[in-house]
Structures are given as structure tokens and as C-alpha cells.
Amino acid sequence: MRCFCRVEYDGTAYAGWQRQEKEICVQSAIESAFKIVVRRPCPVVGAGRTDAGVHARGQGIHVNLPEHIDLKRCEISMNAVLPKDIAIYNLQTVEDSFHARFSAIARRYKYYIVSRKMPLLYKRALFIPYALDWKRMEESLPLLLGRHDFSTFCAAGSNPGSKICTVRSAAIEHNKEMHIFTIEADRFLYKMVRSIVGTLIEIGKGANTEPLDTILQKKDRSSAGDTVAAHGLILEYVYYEGVA
């Protein structure tokens, strides 16, 4: 039977989501745990790949499990076997046609920035030691909304194919010394969120005076800002029709 669950993980110790031969990855750790609990190989499919150091709170995966499995007990056993920095939750049955990647209708990412050195968050947020013009950064966000070619914000090494994405929302929330950039879209390109954040930071410090829509229309990676560090990024949630 096909099953779905959410995955939460701290990506610090992992070379990203996707299984790799010589690296420790989140996907491999989950598959190893299922093999122990279910006593047979159980390949898992994720909603998307996250890079080394990127975290997730609501990654979505599907896996095929034997019909006789008690899902509640399976979830408890999985979390007992998994490393302390990975957990699954909301294990449930879905239609056989369900696909964690292709059935997803949107993804939400958050990027965390702090304005003072915070040792307890050094693997959770990017420390920016200089002042930023947050108002100017926020005024740029509406220019990201809608359907666009996001080639400008796609890092080298991405898969060939369409660079068209539809951004549903983008906002910056401020909480004392914490600043949280949130973006939702139907899909994201390789390192797209981190490239957008890097560009917003350049806009905020006055290093880039071009409007964000002009930067976007150039379809030229060199016109965007640096790709910021992975550790400030969290895959917050993946949306599906009728699946929590």
C-alpha cells in the first residue's frame, strides 16, 4: 500500500536529502530505518531535494509498505530507530497514484536572518553584522509574485528544462533581532531561494540599485546576489490536495 508522511530534520550533518553512494543523506537514513522496522527494502520518494545543511519541517515523502503494517506502531518504531535529528510524522495511506513530488501543488520555504551574533542559532540562521534597509527589501517582494522565468536565480548545475515558476506569496517578518523571509511557489529551481535572499541582502545594503523585476528579466545569474549559506533555510511545508 502506498503511504505518505511528513519528515522533519536538521540538515547540519547531512549531504542533503538525496541518496548518494559515499555521503550520509536524509533519504538514505530514512530508507535504512524502514528496512529495520519493516524488514525489507522500502525506497522513499521526497517532494524535493534539499542541499547539504538545509533543514526541513514539513518535507513530504511517499513509500510503499506491506498491507498488514500498523501505521501508528510503524511511525513510533521509525522514530525510535531514526537518528535524533530526523523524525517522521502523520504516516497515512494515500491513493496508489499519489506521488510525493508530482502531486505537490506548492512548497513553502523560510530563510532566517539574525542581526546580532546568536550562538544558539548559528546553524539555524544567517548572521548579518551590518544594517539593512528592510523597507526597501520588502518593497521589492511584490515584483517576485506571479509566473516568471527565474533563470536569474538558478545556480549552475541545475537540471535542464523549464525555469518557469509561479510565486504565490513572499514576505519578510520581523521579530526583534530575527528576520524571516517566507516564500511560496509551485516549484523552486536549484538554490533559487538562497539566490533570491542573497539578492535582497544586496538591495538592502545598497550594493544593488536595480529593481528586482529588472534583475529577474535579465535571466542572467551574474546580475543576482550571492547564494547565501544553506543553514538559514528551512523547507517549511509541502502542500497537497486532500493530504495533511
Residue 6: pLDDT over 90 = yes
Residue 132 lies in a domain: yes
DSSP string covering 212-239: HHHHHHHT-GGGS-----GGGEEEEEEE
Full residue range of the structural domain in which residue 66 is found: 2-102
Nearest Cα to 55, choosing from 129, 121, 152?
121
Cβ-contact 207, 141 below 8 angstroms: no
Residue 244 lies in a domain: no
Q: Could you say which of 49, 80, 102 is where a domain stops?
A: 102
Answer yes or no: 51 catalytic.
Answer: yes
Strand, coil or helix: 83: coil
Asked whether residue 6 falls in the same domain as residue 96, the answer is: yes
CATH number for 61: 3.30.70.580
Q: Please identify which residue in the block is written with the cell numbers 517549511.
A: 236
Give dist(CA 217, CA 14) in Å, integer. Answer: 35
Residue 244: pLDDT over 90 = no
CATH number for 197: 3.30.70.660
Residue 167 lies in a domain: yes
Cβ-contact 169, 207 below 8 angstroms: no
Asked whether residue 111 falls in the same domain as residue 230, the answer is: yes
Give pLDDT, residue 22: 86
Residue 161: pLDDT over 90 = no
- Quick one: DSSP state of residue 53? T
Cβ-contact 58, 236 below 8 angstroms: yes
Asked whether residue 85 falls in the same domain as residue 169, the answer is: no
Q: For residue range 86-123, what is the model confidence (pLDDT) as tens digits?
A: 999 999 999 999 999 999 999 999 999 999 999 999 99
Strand, coil or helix: 15: coil
Please classify residue 146 by burial: count the beta carbons closer than 10 Å to its beta carbon, then call 0-12 exposed, 13-18 middle and 19+ buried: exposed
Tally the domains of the chain. 2
Residue 159: pLDDT over 90 = no
Asked whether residue 40 falls in the same domain as residue 134, the answer is: no
pTM (2 d.p.):
0.95
Residue 157: pLDDT over 80 = no
Q: For residue range 187-213, what is the model confidence (pLDDT) as tens digits?
A: 999 999 999 999 999 999 998 888 898
Asked whether residue 76 falls in the same domain as residue 173, the answer is: no
Nearest Cα to 114, choosing from 172, 175, 178, 176?
178
Q: Residues 51, 133, 149, 220: which is the catalytic one?
A: 51
Asked whether residue 172 falls in the same domain as residue 77, the answer is: no
- Cell numbers for 21, please give them: 553512494
